């Protein structure tokens, strides 16, 4: 089947294209690309992580929720969970994370890929996993994005001798141009592909993970048995002349994106897509949701009918009901039959641990305030919150799958992609590379690339304390987009995160 793939690495893209060339559809391509991403982008995703997907097959759009559960089902001593605090320097800002075995939530990617494959897949899982297995055995070149994240997370990675040896050389992080090999991960991928339903449920993968974490985490066998992906209705609304689908709970970002689009729709687009009026419009829209993830929000998001109340509020003009930097990657695929998948997944910052003999890094979702905020009250076995926001846009006969990594900047990246595509009819490449504006905690962040010097001067006059970003910066996420426009495949990978795109 012909199709297109956009992702965070050329190898990730090629694995998806291989699946299409072997007769697979957009879902097969997304699965193959996800497995490869765990090798080519091992600090952003992997079998120890979780995520969200939007799937369009046979004209119907659904959410596949493959996010992480809170562990501790049947735990005798939940207070034994061990977490240590680490501060990561993101350049313009720093952020505190908790790591260690106790920071691990229940991985959702294995069950999610199994569910997607069982419902829509047409190529055998061992065939889809073959490129990732070969790459893990032979080794992959460390690209700029890989090296950048490895250096960024080194304060976490160097804590464990095994992880330090896995992702470093002579006591320092892997650098661009070096080779990353993971033969143990190749064996894990091979075993998972041979038994996708059981390997991480009650098979050898589950036993290895629980055995390693035992004593330092509440995650146990009952948690893995209970972990399951869920197919849910997508949240949908019209935006100008297009239709937009985003995930509902447990995604907080989908709700934010719909609110932002509603705010922008109240006025006509500014004449200049990168000018001061557009910056101000996006700033003002984001100001309405800045800090929306309050304790009241976390109490409400998992309540029955919350997504319906949000949509009803947007329709009536009320917006979200009164509710008061991240390391993630994204893959977008489309096929010639109109199938499309947008899938976003993450390891958080990793908990700094690797399961012995498996090459599998483990997430630290319990140590991320975006995912496991102190005010969130959830029972063991319940979903955590995510900012993943894979999205699908239908613009007449044109179709786009898009999404981004970037934690709190994910809604910003998706919003800009949507505005550039719908309001300004920019090409996929221009929509992905176009400059972004982000507001958080009252602070305005503005990219200068692609804007005139006059516009940047106006920003300084309008908001003197804004933070200016010159050159591509992973702070603004990585928007990867694949689509069908005018009957031809189109797309782009985000240069901010070493993105790549290809079609077949």
Q: Apex CA 172: angle with CA 166 and CA 173, to 5°?
A: 60
Average pLDDT of the residues in 252-275: 93
Distance CA 189, CA 304 (A): 37
Query: How would you class 283 by CB atoms within 10 Å of its CB: exposed for 0-12, middle for 13-18, buried for 19 or more?
Result: buried
**pLDDT tens track for 128-142:** 999 999 999 999 999
Query: pLDDT tens for residues 158-168?
Result: 999 999 999 99
Measured from the Cβ of residue 138, the count of other Cβ atoms closer than 10 Å reads: 11
The conformation of residue 349, written as its DSSP 8-state character, comes to B
pLDDT at position 322 is: 33
At 418-471, the pLDDT tens digits run 999 999 999 999 999 999 999 988 999 999 999 999 999 999 999 999 999 998
CATH architecture classification, 232-327+388-503:
4-Layer Sandwich (3.60)
Helix (H, G, I), strand (E, B) or coil at 419: helix
Averaged pLDDT for residues 2-9: 97
How far apart, in Å, are the Cα atoms of 385 and each of 70, 180, 301, 333, 398?
A: 10, 32, 9, 25, 31
Q: Is 4:502 a contact under the CB 8 Å cutoff?
A: yes
Q: Distance between alpha carbon 125 and the CA centroid of its chain, in Å?
A: 22
Strands (E), 114-197: 140-141, 168-169, 172-173, 179-180
pLDDT value, residue 163: 97
Whether residue 317 is predicted with pLDDT greater than 90 in this model: the reply is no
Please report the beta strands in 365-407, taking only residues with DSSP state E, as ranges in sequence order: 391-395, 398-405
Domain extent listing, the chain: 3-225+350-367, 232-327+388-503
List the one residue out of 304, 339, 312, 316 whose CA is nearest residue 255: 312
């Amino acid at each position: 089947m012909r199709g297109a793939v956009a992702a965070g690495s050329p190898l990730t893209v090629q694995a998806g294209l291989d699946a299409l060339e072997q007769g697979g559809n957009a879902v097969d391509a997304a699965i193959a690309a996800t497995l490869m991403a765990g090798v080519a982008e091992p600090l952003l995703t992997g079998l120890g992580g979780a995520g969200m997907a939007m799937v369009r097959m046979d004209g119907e759009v659904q959410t596949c929720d493959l996010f992480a559960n809170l562990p501790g089902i049947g735990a005798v001593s939940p207070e034994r969970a061990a977490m240590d605090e680490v501060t990561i320097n993101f350049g313009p800002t720093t952020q505190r994370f908790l790591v260690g075995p106790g920071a691990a939530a229940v991985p959702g990617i294995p069950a999610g890929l199994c569910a997607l494959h069982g419902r829509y897949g047409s190529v055998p899982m061992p065939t889809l996993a073959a490129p990732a297995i070969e790459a893990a055995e032979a080794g992959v070149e460390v690209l700029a994005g890989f090296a950048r994240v490895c250096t960024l997370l080194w304060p976490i990675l160097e804590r464990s001798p095994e992880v330090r040896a896995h992702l470093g050389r002579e006591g320092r992080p892997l650098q661009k141009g070096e080779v990353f090999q993971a033969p143990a991960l190749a064996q894990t991928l091979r075993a998972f592909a041979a038994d996708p339903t059981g390997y991480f449920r009650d098979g050898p993968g589950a036993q290895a993970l629980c055995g390693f974490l035992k004593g330092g985490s509440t995650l146990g066998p009952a948690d893995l048995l209970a972990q399951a992906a869920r197919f849910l209705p997508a949240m949908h609304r019209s935006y100008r002349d297009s239709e937009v689908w985003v995930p509902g709970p447990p995604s907080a970002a989908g709700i934010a994106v719909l609110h932002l689009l509603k705010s922008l729709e109240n006025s006509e687009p500014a004449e200049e897509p990168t000018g001061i009026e557009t910056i101000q419009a996006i700033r003002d829209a984001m100001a309405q949701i800045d800090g929306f993830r309050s304790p009241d929000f976390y109490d409400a998001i998992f309540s029955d009918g919350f997504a319906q109340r949000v949509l009803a509020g947007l329709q009536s003009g009320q917006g979200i009901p009164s509710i008061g930097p991240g390391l993630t990657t994204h893959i977008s695929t489309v096929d010639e039959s109109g199938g499309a998948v947008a899938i976003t997944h993450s390891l958080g910052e990793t908990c700094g641990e690797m399961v012995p003999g498996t090459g599998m890094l483990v997430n630290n979702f319990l140590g991320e305030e975006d995912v496991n905020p102190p005010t969130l009250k959830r029972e063991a076995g319940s979903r955590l919150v995510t900012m993943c926001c894979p999205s699908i846009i239908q613009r007449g006969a044109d179709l786009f799958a898009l999404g981004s990594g970037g934690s709190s900047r994910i809604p910003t990246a998706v919003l800009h992609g949507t505005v550039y595509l719908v309001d300004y009819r920019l090409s996929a490449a221009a929509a992905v590379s176009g400059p972004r504006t982000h507001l958080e905690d009252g602070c305005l962040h503005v990219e200068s690339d692609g804007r005139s010097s006059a516009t940047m001067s106006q920003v300084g006059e309008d908001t003197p304390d804004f933070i200016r970003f010159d050159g591509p910066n992973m702070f603004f996420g990585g928007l990867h987009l694949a689509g069908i426009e005018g009957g031809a495949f189109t797309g782009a990978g985000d240069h901010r995160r070493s993105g790549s795109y290809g079609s077949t």
